[in-house]
Chain A
Amino acid sequence: MNTATPLQKIRKALCALLVIILLLPAARLAALAQEAKQPDADAEGESVTGFRLERLPVAEGAELLTIFGKLGSDNGGEEAPLLSVLRDTLGDEERENDLLRYVWTFSYTRPTLTQRAAAAVPFLYNRVGNKKSAGKDAPPPLLDLAASRQAVWNKLFWNALQNVLFDSGGFAVKASSRAYRRNHSDYRKAHIVRALAILSLYQSETGAEPVFTDVEKREIGARLLLTDKALGGYVDDIYLERYYQKQSSETLDVRGHNWELLRQRAEAEKLYFEPLALPDGSATHALLWVARSDLERYRGRRFNGRFLNIANPWRDGRLRKWKGYVETRHFDAESRPVPPATPGAQAVELIPLAIYGLDHPKIPILLVDFRDALNPKKREASRRATEDVARNVLLLSRFGDLYYFLGRAVYDFVTDRRGVDINQPSRFRAYSQLKLLLSLSEGIAPQLREDVGERLERVSLNPLENDTEAEVKLARAQYEALMEYARRPDGLAAQIERDRGAEMVKLAHGRAARVFLRAANILSFGFYTHREEVTPELRARLGLNRALAHHRRFLREVVKSTPQIEVVWNVDEVRRSLQFIADHAAEVDGDTAQLAARVFAATEDDAARRLALDCLYRINSKRAKRELVKVYMDERLEARWRELSAEYLRLAVREQQRISSSDVKAISLTIGH
């Protein structure tokens, strides 16, 4: 007899649905038939250290920008595709209506069935093998830059679903779903970190004319970084540059501190410190060595393992019998590493002890311990295990149990404050970067690189991860698949059209309808997305809308940055944006009118002021006229501006533009008709 309540039935159904979603490859992008057009790849300049950008036109007015990097010599020394960004240009030369859309990192792939199943196994902190083949489907994009808000809603929805439904479905469902989501999230974050690193390297390395504008580069960077924040997708575009710069500074700050901390600790413990740099010279990791000759010299010496988190080398019998990798380095009288032939150079045989990531908050994070392969894994797993046991086994939650909340807060404060190496934010960022470093850097000896690579794979906690070798193969295959997808008429071009159709919803529907359509999208797990049919008229409006958004954003940035525009900005650019808005005043709203008024107040340039007033006149909204009235009323202004605003107001009244009754009254009383 079936005694399940309707609620339980729904729960079961949703759980089944979840399993299907977990096991199914990600939903394939639907196809729209399009005229096939063979795109031609156009290679941009290559930098000295091997970064190259390829520009591939896509049918329906878009381009795919792909960054290639040269791999280390033991990876064949060949170049591999690293990252692609899709720019929707609407098929014209106007940069102002371009829209950046998808970001792909080619090592980011859809996991295999086995990987997905393993990712859902609680307490399985291990890799389960590689994905062998990328398949022929287009690779999954890492991020849609133009749909950052959508990601926020998706995240909220899944969190709600987890807490309301899965968490109440018993240990198995709760633990499995949480483990899967965590692994999936970590896998994605790791590739976001890698995407950021690639972009940063490309920016600093390429000598060619930049393909991304500064604004675009920072926008991509900031949007990638903001994926970590709950409401990151909602951050106003004008803050993106500031946020990106702030985060970049913080990363460099952390890196510098860790570099110096590790150097000082190495010095104090009589070890050798070697920074490991990416091709652009930025040291993101460091290696610690011990000199074989010092093992006897300092035998039995005290060792302060705080921050280093490795065993005392001076009391370690394993090192005296070391059969692993060694390297002989030469140093001059000032302890500088020099080539062996340097006169007076002293040879020192070095044994590697550990590799640390320098971008980790607070302390350098141990990634490889050459004497104890499980040491980093234990440290990483400590936090995961603590969280998993508390949440899944003991059913404790920070928000549901005050004592747990307090205890955890104190524990976290102490470990964080003291820089204890356990219970720290996950190391996947540092691992991800190290993988990139191993792939790209020429500075590491091949044998050591291989050794480190193998150790890294053993340390990985995430069943969704592939090893470095597999990633290179997958990247190449996924790149080919993406290219193929871009060439197919029913491929990327069709996807772009569909995306434009979705983007046009805001042009065709009011706010309430849009909220309804958004809800439908979320509740259908993304299977239903409302799209407009792309007509030439709508397409033109879309271009205009994007261009207006570009000019509004520019003007908002301008007025926010300075009280006197012409001191800081090229006033021609400001005039151009005002002119564009004035020319398309029918398409803009009261917010834009307010923006024009702020420009008027912050400039002394006659032409810009005239244009600002012209905008206020042409924008048919109550706020625009209210702003004109304010200008007229401002006695500090020169008479000519007040007269001009009066003239515009008279015209507006005559043309029966939208004006509030109080403003009409004020106009008729003070200005007349």
Chain B
Amino acid sequence: MGNRQHPSGKLGKAITVAVILGLLASAPAMAQARRVVVIKVDGLPYRMVERFVHETDPRTGKSRLPWMKRLFYDQGTRLANFYVRGMSLSAPSWNLLDTGQHLQIKGNVEYDRYTLYSYDYLNFFPFFLNNALSRREDMPSAELLDELGIPLLIDAYGENERFQSYQLNQRGVGWLTLQKALTNRFTSRSPRELLDEWTMGLDARGLPLEQFEREIVGRLDDPAYRYLDYYTTEFDHATHHNRDRDTHLRALQNVDALIGRIWTAIERSPLADETALVVVSDHGTNTDERVYSQGYSLIELLRSAAGGGHHVLTKRRPLMDYSIKGAYPFVPLITTTSKESYYLKDESADYPTALLDFDGNERASIHLRDSDLNLLHILFQQLARKDLSPQVRQAANRAFFATVERRRAEWEKMLAEMREELGALRREIDRQSAMLAVLKSNGATRSESRRNRESVRLAARVSFWQTQERGYAEYIGALSRLLALRGEGFDPRRLKVEELIPRRSMGDGNTIHQLQNYVVGVAAGGLALAGDGSLDMEKSFRRVDYFSLLGRITVRNNVQKGIANRPVDFVAVRVPREALAGALNADELPDQDAIWLYGAGDRQALILARQAQSGELSLRYLPIAYLTGQADGAVRFQRIGWKESLPLKLWEDEKLRAPESDRARWLNEWHTELEWLRAAHETEYANAIIGLHEQFARHPTASLDAARPGLSQDERLLARFRARQRRLVEADLLILANNHWNFDVRGFNPGGNHGSFFRVSTHSTLMFVGGENTGIRRGAVIEEPYDSLSFVPTIFRLTGQLPNGEITPALWQDGFRQFPGRIIEELFDPAKQTPPPVAGSSADNR
């Protein structure tokens, strides 16, 4: 009897045990950080952290990076395979990391094709000046994301809960920080130390960084602060300039020491147990001790006769450090004039025909003026000549209007839509201006500074809209006049070309056909007639095939071992989905635009994408050759089998985790993005297939969706307008540099570069460590590959703001929506197993 228990007692015990087990099981899920400190290190490759952490400093007997070793290797968790999703370029990469949403910013600089308005996401100087003048509150990238309704990670925290250092997605300028930086520099050192510093060279760049550190350390004592970040580009600068190991190590050791100081302050703070320290980077970097990164000037190519004789616009001054004007920090658009222009000599101010963005330097984006505008411009000039024979004049006249007619429907549609959109924009400007007036006058319910900030933000937005409105109005005015022309009595000598061909505009993007037959001037023999008396369009014009041109570039000075003499790896362009309809089988058809990768005539590929109803993205790589664009927009190509040297070099890459026995079959199939990531992330191009898709895809957001229910007519038009604006910044050509090549012309970056889809450039750093109650695993390394989209949801999971993967009402209120990225669950849950790689394969077995 003694060992017998009442059934209810057993039940009670069972329940108790169950509750305890339940509590234990859910313990990791319940643990959460109350505060996050994020150290953002621009361009920090994981491989370099890994290398130096495992090296022993003979002087100390400890790791060369002792703090990283202790915190992230021994006491925390690191991701061995964390990648930027998209180009390895700062503005887009931080855009992904800071929002957790798909890519909206596609370059460090973006140009509006119609107006040449440049979105320069990297230039701090205009922002600081405008902020000082109360004209701007946010960096351009933050402004754009606001416009698109995408909140930043810091927006999840109130102004008194967060501390943000100077960075690309910056909100506000802490002027006091700058002031204190200066005073503290002198008061925190003895005269002897100051004298030594002066003798050795003052480090002006370190001035604000030192102050940010002080301010973060100071704020850690205040439990109200829940989010603090520190952004540094010092390491990125070091690797751009120098390739040597010692420079890299020293730059990294500075970061390591900073981490140590901040962690020590965290440990001494009241929230030590509930504070997480995160180190994250936006991309890796392609640097090699044995090699200087070699530059190639695309400006010179585009300016040359062979390249089309373009006047080229850039947002970075060529050889900036070698010019007097380069000292001017508020860089306007820079025009590099061509002396070899075929038809626009001395007209570079009005008619630049190429826009170039080469930032990051392992890639460049090129916008070329709509080839048909070139054609019309040339014909206009020819018709203005007095020495044309009547037959040629008549033929040229017919060709001019035939070209206009060919584009009429498209342009008229665009004009009609834009007029509607600009009308809605005008009404919005009026509404917001009225609101601005109210906001300025009525601050009773808000704090003074917050009210000011909101009014500055609104004023900046209204000012931006007004600029856009003027620019677009000019463009559509010229195009409307062009469409209004009639062939009868058309006499260009009585007209000014700028009234018909918009000045300083690229017009619409070029089709593949146009890029393969791009009109750059009149043929050497002048306009020629066909047998039927019409203008012979082939013989009358000089044309350039840009794919062939770029693919053929070689250099004669090839003095470094292991470097190709071809600066261009491949060119990527968008192929409209409709253009592929006749060329693909039913099972190959994508449900969105495809990407054409051009390596050479016989080495090309298409990346096809489709999305399941669940939202899951599937991608397919189709090897092809000799793709040609047709005048009607369709494309034709030759299918080829898998072989070496295709773009992204998947076939020959031993690290591709595809079934050894049937690699071709695996490669010929559709795979989800996760399958691609797991299979390819260790290859030379890592997650390039996903990255290219991210770069080229048009990612919908609520504020870009004109079909969203419940919108007013004006809201609908404005959503369409915003979507159009995003399309207008899309470049014609994305050019990827070969290994150890770059397109920098602002100066020289012999140390290394990034921007490409090479693994060395996309493989980035993400490491966590936290106090006892944060739930972060200790001494863990996560092998499962993740990308930048996982960062924000994981931070929110860490802080308990994403329970069960659902957004809390508070976050919803702040504008946050479902995150597309996977939460890094292994960070918290030791039981979480890394899923196996693609069935039947193992790169390790090779």
Point out residues on A near B: beta carbons under 8 Å.
214-215, 226, 229-232, 234-236, 239, 242-243, 245-246, 248-249, 252-253, 256-257, 259-261, 263-264, 266-268, 270, 272-275, 334-337, 362-363, 414, 417-419, 561-564, 567-570, 573
* Per-residue contact bits, chain B 285-312, to A (CB 8 Å; 1 contact, 0 not): 0000000111101001000000000000
- Can you identify 21 A-B contacts, CB atoms within 8 angstroms? A226-B199, A229-B199, A232-B199, A235-B199, A239-B200, A243-B200, A248-B247, A252-B247, A253-B751, A260-B292, A264-B297, A334-B564, A335-B554, A335-B565, A336-B559, A363-B322, A417-B326, A563-B260, A567-B66, A568-B66, A570-B61
Partner of A419, one of B58, B59, B322, B558: B322
Could you say which residues of chain B place their CB within 8 Å of the CB of A573?
60
Q: Find chain B residues with CB under 8 A from A263 CB.
A: 294, 557, 559
Q: How far, in whole Å, are A543 and B425 apart by their CA atoms in the complex?
A: 83
Chain A contacts for B564, CB-based, 8 A: 334
B246 touches A256 (CB 8 A): no
Within 8 Å by CB of B244, from A235, A236, A252, lies A252
Interface residue B556 (Cβ < 8 Å from any Cβ of A): yes
- Whether B200 pairs with A275 at a CB distance below 8 angstroms is no
B14 in the interface (beta carbon within 8 A) = no
Contact of A563 among B62, B261, B323 (CB under 8 A): B261
| A270: B residues at CB distance < 8 A | 556
What residues on B are CB-neighbors of A336 within 8 Å? 558-559, 565
B257 contacts across to A, CB distance below 8 A = 561-562
Instruction: Write the nearest CB–CB distance from B41 to chain A, whole angstroms.
Output: 18
Chain B residues whose CB sits within 8 angstroms of the CB of A266 once the complex forms: 557
Q: Give the nearest-CB partner of A256 in chain B.
A: B750
Interface string of B60-99 (1 = CB under 8 A from A): 1110001100100000000000000000000000000000
Give the complex CA separation of A385 and B565 in angstroms.
Answer: 44
B201 at the interface (CB under 8 A from A): yes
- B748 near A568: Cβ-Cβ < 8 Å: no
Beyond A231-B199, A334-B564, whether A273 also contacts B557 by CB under 8 A is yes
B199 touches A256 (CB 8 A): no
> Can you name the residue of chain B whose Cβ is closest to the Cβ of A273?
B557
Query: Which among B58, B195, B557 has the highest number of chain A CB atoms within 10 Å?
Result: B557
B346 within 8 A of A: no
A567-B199 CB under 8 A given contacts A256-B751, A267-B556: no
- CB closest residue in chain A, given B241: A253
Q: Does the CB pair A568–B260 fall under 8 Å? A: yes
Q: Knowing that A231-B199, A256-B751, A335-B554 are A-B contacts, what are 4 other residue pairs whose CB atoms are under 8 Å apart, sorted by A's residue number?
A: A249-B250, A263-B557, A272-B556, A567-B70
Cβ of A103 to closest chain B Cβ, rounded Å = 20
Whether A418 lies near B559 (C-beta < 8 A) is no
Closest to B264 in A: A563
Contact (Cβ within 8 A) A249 B556: no
Interface residues of B in 309-357 (CB under 8 A from A): 321-324, 326-327
Q: How far is the CA of A274 from the CA of B564 in the complex (A)?
A: 17
Q: CB distance A567 to B260 under 8 Å?
A: yes
A32 to chain B minimum Cβ distance, whole angstroms, is 36
With A260-B294, A569-B62 as given contacts, are A236 and B196 in contact (CB-CB < 8 Å)? yes
Residue of chain A at shortest CB distance from B59: A214
**Contact pick for A417, options B196, B323, B565, B747, CB 8 Å:** B323
Asked whether, in the complex, the Cβ of A256 is within 8 Å of the Cβ of B557, the reply is: no
How many residues in B have their beta carbons less than 8 Å from beta carbons of A?
Answer: 51
Which residue of B195, B242, B327, B557 contacts A272 across the interface (Cβ within 8 Å)? B557
How many contacting A-B pairs (Cβ < 8 A)?
138
Q: Are B559 and A239 in contact (CB under 8 A)?
A: no
Q: How close is A347's CB to chain B, nearest CB, in angstroms?
A: 14
User: How near does chain A come to B486, taking the closest CB pair, in angstroms?
Assistant: 46
Instruction: Tell whether, in the assembled complex, residue B292 and residue A236 are in contact, meaning their CB atoms are under 8 Å apart.
Output: no
B67 contacts A235, CB within 8 Å?
no
Interface centre among A234, A239, A567 (most CB of B within 10 A): A567
Q: How far is the CA of A414 from the CA of B325 in the complex (A)?
A: 10
Determine how close the nearest CB of chain B comes to the CB of A248; give it in whole angstroms. 7
CB pair B200–A259 under 8 Å, yes or no, is no
The closest CB in chain B to the CB of A232 belongs to B199
| Residues of A contacting B292 in the complex (Cβ-Cβ under 8 angstroms) | 256, 259-260
B67 and A568 within 8 A (CB): yes
Given A236-B196, A249-B242, A567-B62: A260 in contact with B558 (beta carbons within 8 A):
no
Q: Which residue of A lies closest to B248 (CB)?
A: A249
Cβ–Cβ < 8 Å partners of A257 in chain B: 241, 747-748, 750
Contacts of B295 in A (CB 8 A): 260, 264
Residues facing A in B723-771 (CB within 8 A) are 747-748, 750-751
Interface string of B20-46 (1 = CB under 8 A from A): 000000000000000000000000000
Query: Which residues of chain A are near B324, meaning CB under 8 Å?
Result: 414, 417-418
Report the bound CA distance from A563 to B258 in whole Å.
10
For residue B199, which residues in chain A have a CB less than 8 angstroms away from its CB? 226, 229-232, 234-235
Chain B residue at minimal CB-CB distance from A291: B556
Complex interface: chain B residues within 8 A of A235 (CB): 196, 199-200
CB distance from B582 to the nearest CB of A (A): 39
Of A232, A335, A569, the contact of B555 (CB 8 Å cutoff): A335
Contact (Cβ within 8 A) B246 A245: yes
The reply to whether A268 and B195 contact each other, CB–CB distance below 8 Å, is no
Expressed in whole angstroms, the minimum distance between the Cβ of A569 and any Cβ of chain B is 5
When the two chains form their complex, are residues A567 and B67 in contact, meaning their CB atoms are under 8 A apart? yes
In the bound complex, residues from chain B placing their C-beta under 8 Å from that of A231 are 195, 199
The 3 tightest CB contacts between A and B, nearest first, are A256-B750, A563-B264, A335-B558
Cβ-based interface call for B192 (8 A): yes
Q: Which residue of A215, A256, A270, A418 has the most chain B CB atoms within 10 A of its CB atom?
A: A256
Closest to A561 in B: B257
Return A287 CB to nearest CB of chain B, in Å. Answer: 11
B195 touches A245 (CB 8 A): no
Once the chains are docked, how many angstroms separate the CA of A335 from the CA of B564?
A: 9
B720 within 8 Å of A (CB atoms): no
Is B106 located at the chain interface by the 8 A CB criterion? no
Give CA–CA (A259, B748) in the complex, Å. 10
B243 within 8 A of A: yes
Indicate with 1 or 0, residue by residue over B93-132, a CB within 8 angstroms of chain A CB atoms: 0000000000000000000000000000000000000000
- Residues of A near B241 (CB, < 8 A) are 253, 256-257
Distance in angstroms between the alpha carbons of A60 and B195 in the assembled complex: 37
User: Once the chains are docked, how many angstroms separate the CA of A570 from the CA of B66?
Assistant: 11
Residues in chain B near residue A563, CB distance under 8 A: 260-261, 264
Pair A249/B62 contact, Cβ less than 8 Å: no
Q: What is the chain B residue whose CB lies nearest that of A418? A: B322
Nearest CB in chain A to that of B249: its residue = A245
Q: Which of A260, A336, A414 has the most CB of B within 10 A?
A: A260
Q: How many angstroms from the CA of A268 to the CA of B556 in the assembled complex?
A: 10
Most-contacted residue by chain B among A229, A274, A335 (CB, 10 A): A335
Which residues from B are CB-within-8-Å of A248? 246-247
Write out the residue numbers on chain B whose beta carbons fall within 8 Å of the beta carbon of A249: 238, 242, 244, 246-247, 250
Which single member of B59, B195, B242 contacts A256 (CB below 8 Å)?
B242
A529 to B294, CA, bound (A): 56
**Contact partners of B70 in chain A: CB under 8 A:** 567
Bound: A563/B751 CA distance, A: 32
CA distance A230 to B196 in the complex (A): 11
Question: Which residues on B sit within 8 Å (CB–CB) of A256?
Answer: 241-243, 292, 748, 750-751
Contact residue among B201, B326, B556 (Cβ-Cβ distance under 8 Å from A335)? B556
Complex formed: what's the CA distance from A257 to B295 in Å?
Answer: 11
A248 to B66, CA, bound (A): 24
Chain B nearest CB from A200 CB (Å) reads 11
Contact A252/B559 with A236-B192, A263-B294, A567-B66 known, Cβ cut-off 8 Å:
no
What is the minimal beta-carbon distance from B600 to any residue of chain A, in angstroms?
Answer: 15
Per the bound structure, the CA–CA distance linking A145 and B610 in Å amounts to: 70
**CA A232 – CA B201 in complex, angstroms?**
11
Write the nearest CB–CB distance from A298 to chain B, whole angstroms: 12
Of listed A230, A272, A334, A573, residue having the most chain B CB within 10 A: A334
Cα distance, A266 to B558, chains bound together (Å): 11
Q: Which B residues touch A245, using CB under 8 A? A: 246-247, 250
Shortest B738–chain A CB gap in Å is 12
